[in-house]
Amino acid sequence: MLEHAARLLGHQGAGDVDPERDFLEAGFDSVGALELRNALNEATGLRLPPMVVFSNKTPADLAGFVAEEFTAHLSRAEAETGTGAGAGAGSRAPSAPAPDTVSDIFRGAVMAGRLEEGFEVLTAIARVRPSFSSAADLERVPAPVKLADGPGRPRLLCLSTPMATGGVYQHARLASHFRGVRQVSAIPLSGFLPGEPLPVSIDAAVEVLAESVLLAAEGEPFVLVGYSAGGIFAAATAHRLETVAGAGPYGVVLLDTYESDGGGRAGLAKELVFGMLEMEQAFGGFDSARLSTMGRYGELLVDMPPARVEAPVLFVQCQESFAGTGEGLEDWRAAPWDPAHTLRTVPADHFSILENRAAETARVIEDWLGSTPRP
């Protein structure tokens, strides 16, 4: 397993992989995690779940889990052989058709040009899930996940998009370029995991995010980094920390964040969803928790005005379009909503900014930090 992990991370061999180091901190993103899972399936004959890498955190934990699963697999095979399960295989009943999933229904609506109705399905599911109206309703706020470490300050605390592709691993590739430079942590949005509650309002969501940010900051200076719609939440969280907690950020970085406009860019929104669906395979499929969470946060964002932040703000704009051409797609660029924002560009599109163009994105952020007075 360490050989597979080393190859995916670009190392020379298994000796370069620390078995006790978190996969996220080692630089694994969702694509790398799925590739490792597929390699383990091929080597063992098991059918490990798509996100088995992240659910086991470290190579040592994953190795223990795979060993247990392989032992159980052998025991089941021996039991089936002993009871003659191999006999009469020709009379086996035909397998049942695959059931419709929430993902199937949502994808069908999108492809039929009924994006709004598709989101209505997701928001309806979200309404029957557990919810919270303040941080006091939770046993604990979602814990931050460290992605990289280094001596530099301020720390970077990252908020992902609330789309179905979001999660603490979304900034893993970006964070890998800060390893040895400064600490980078991911701040989870509650709801993406089965059983996690959803916020009933923007205020509830931002209150919990602010608590998670303070937990991750540990009293040190920090910069909030928000990708896509996660930038809307980053700005709102910064505003709350400045006005309520008295512990504002050193700065805010908005990575290609589109301003909420109440659905005024319907064509662009559809292209964003198309791009998201193209990435579904890398997640082993979107489950109902992930999709309904997107529905809830999308519902909250519709009329959410962009928050004004007192701290310096860097707006990182993509130079390449992720969308095609046609009516409603001419104005594809995300742009600063405040003249005080510092604008920088990267040769990337909305998706590659955190993927194969992550190095350029990291360089722009680090250059901005270096040109801004230290806290």
Full DSSP string of 66-82: HHHHHHHHHHHHHHHHH
Question: 314 and 227 in contact (C-beta within 8 Å)?
Answer: no
Class of domain 2-81: mainly alpha
Closest by Cα among 372, 303, 362 to 172: 362
The amino acid that residue 131 corresponds to is: S
* Per-residue pLDDT, 84: 43
CATH of 131-371 given 3.30.565.10, 2.40.110.10, 3.40.50.1820, 3.40.50.1100: 3.40.50.1820
Closest by Cα among 354, 190, 165, 192 to 273: 165
- Name the segment(s) of the chain with CATH classification 1.10.1200.10: 2-81
Per-residue pLDDT of the chain (375 residues; tens, 9 = 90+): 555 554 544 555 556 556 777 777 676 766 677 777 777 777 777 777 766 777 777 888 877 777 777 677 666 666 666 544 444 444 444 444 445 689 999 999 999 989 999 999 999 999 999 999 999 999 999 999 999 999 999 999 999 999 999 988 899 999 999 999 999 999 999 999 888 999 999 999 999 999 999 999 999 999 999 999 999 999 999 999 999 988 999 999 999 999 875 555 667 788 889 889 988 887 778 999 999 999 999 999 987 888 999 999 999 999 999 876 666 667 788 999 999 999 999 999 999 999 999 999 999 999 999 998 765
Q: How far apart are CA 358 and CA 171, in angstroms?
A: 9
| β-strand partners of 13 | none
Task: Calculate the CA 177 to chain-centre distance.
Answer: 18
Give 357: exposed, middle or buried? Use CB within 10 Å, 0-12, 13-18, 19+: buried
| 251 Cβ contact list (under 8 Å, min separation 6) | 154, 223, 224, 311, 312, 313, 314, 368, 369, 372
Q: Where are the alpha helices (DSSP H) in the chain?
A: 2-9, 23-26, 30-44, 52-56, 59-82, 102-111, 115-127, 172-176, 202-217, 230-240, 266-278, 288-301, 358-371
- Name the segment(s) of the chain with CATH classification 3.40.50.1820: 131-371
The amino acid that residue 179 corresponds to is: R
CB neighbours of residue 252 within 10 Å: 25
Question: 361 and 368 in contact (C-beta within 8 Å)?
Answer: no
* Per-residue pLDDT, 253: 98
* Per-residue pLDDT, 36: 78
| 127 Cβ contact list (under 8 Å, min separation 6) | none
